[in-house]
């Protein structure tokens, strides 16, 4: 079969191209609702942000709330817990980044970078290894060697600033976006 050079697009070809293009654009616009419907609904988004009343949390205690489907650890630290956290050098930490959504990604994991007020530690209670909920360590019932949390699934241990110290978890417990609305109320998310 003889090969022919491709002829210049005629007016007829332009019509076919135009129709095809309009059809393709229409199909793309029509497809969008089917993809977007899988995104979180307005009801889920309405719960993306919660207000937490801190007055129920005693000194040295943790209260667990629910935020975006995950446990939220709100811990009111004692002076000793704060001092212990501050005494740790950055080079002793397996994960040296703050993992604080309120700070830039590169912020180092100093105790000050783990919360805006030293007394209050607000963390997402999901172990950064495989997602179990770590158990809080109290003087009456110590969990792990660092006074923070112990994850019973695979033995990850966190300190009193929620930073990973020992075990398979690769990162510090995450600090969610939050801000103080008053001395006794924070808005998370």
Partner 1 sequence: MRIALALLAMALGLSLGGAASAADDGAALPVKHVQWSFEGPLGTYDRGALQRGFKVYKEVCSACHSLNLVAFHDLAAPGGPGFTEAQAKAIAAGYKIPAEPNDKGELFDANGNRLTRPGILADRLPPPFPNEEAARTANSGALPPDLSLIEKARVGGPDYVYSILTGFSHKPPTGFKVQDGKYYNPYFAGRNISMPPPLMAGSVSYTDGTKSSVAQEARDVVTFLAWASEPKLEERHRIGFEVMAFLVLLAGLLFLTYRKVWKDKH
Partner 2 sequence: MAGHSTYVPATGFTRWLDKRLPILRLTHDTMTTYPTPRNLNIWYTFGGILTFCLGVQIVTGIVLAMHYVPNADLAFNSVEGRIMREVNYGWLIRYVHANGASMFFLAVYIHMARGLYYGSYKVPREVIWILGVLLYLLMMATAFFGYVLPWGQMSFWGATVITSLFSALDQVIPHLGTAITTWLWGGFAVGDATLNRFFSLHYLLPFVIAGVIGLHIWALHVPGNNNPLGIDVKGPQDTVPFHPYYTVKDAFYLSLFVILFAGFVFFAPDFFGNPDNSTQANPLVTPTDIVPEWYLLPFYAMLRSVPQKLIGVLVLAGALVTLFFVPWLDTSKVRSCRFRPLMKQCFWLFVLDCLMLGYAGSQSTDAALNFGSMQLPLVWLARVGTAYYFGYFWVLMPLIGLIEKPKTLPESIAKSVLGAKGERT
Catalytic center residues: 154
Query: What is the DSSP secondary structure assignment for residue 32, as one 8-state letter?
Result: H
CB atoms within 10 A of CB 97: 17
Which residue's CB is nearer to partner 1, number 26 or number 170?
26
Strand partners of residue 100: 175
Which residue's CB is nearer to partner 2, number 41 or number 182?
41
Q: How far apart are CA 81 and CA 83, in angstroms?
A: 5
Q: Is 27 in the site for partner 2 (CB under 8 A)?
A: no
Q: Is 29 in the site for partner 2 (CB under 8 A)?
A: no
In this chain, which stretch among 32-40, 54-62, 90-98, 101-109 interacts with partner 2, using CB under 8 A? 32-40
Two tokens at 164? 């990973």
> What does 38 interact with, of partner 1, partner 2, none (CB < 5 to 8 A by kind)?
partner 2
Q: Is 90 in the site for partner 2 (CB under 8 A)?
A: no
Binding site for partner 1 (CB under 8 A): 12, 15-16, 18-19, 22-23, 26, 29, 42-43, 46-47, 50-51
Residue in 81, 120, 113, 84 with CA at minimum distance from that of residue 97: 113
Identify the sign of the CA torsion 100, 105, 107, 109.
Answer: positive
Q: Is 37 in the site for partner 2 (CB under 8 A)?
A: yes
């Amino acid at each position: 079969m003889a090969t022919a050079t491709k002829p210049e697009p005629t007016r007829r070809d332009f019509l076919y191209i135009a129709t095809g293009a309009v059809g393709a654009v229409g199909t793309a616009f029509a497809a969008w609702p089917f993809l977007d419907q899988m995104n979180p609904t307005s009801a889920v988004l309405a719960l993306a942000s919660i207000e937490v009343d801190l007055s129920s949390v005693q000194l040295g205690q943790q209260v667990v709330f629910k935020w975006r489907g995950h446990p939220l650890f709100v811990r009111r630290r004692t002076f000793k817990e704060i001092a212990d956290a501050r005494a740790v050098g950055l080079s002793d930490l397996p994960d040296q980044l703050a993992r604080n959504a309120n700070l830039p990604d590169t912020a180092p994991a100093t105790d000050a970078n783990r919360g805006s007020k030293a007394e209050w530690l607000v963390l997402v209670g999901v172990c950064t290894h495989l997602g179990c909920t770590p158990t809080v360590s109290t003087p009456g019932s110590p969990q792990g060697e660092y006074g923070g949390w112990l994850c019973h699934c695979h033995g990850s241990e966190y300190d009193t600033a929620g930073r990973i110290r020992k075990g398979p978890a690769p990162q510090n417990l995450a600090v969610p976006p939050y801000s103080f609305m008053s001395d006794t109320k924070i808005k998370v998310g």
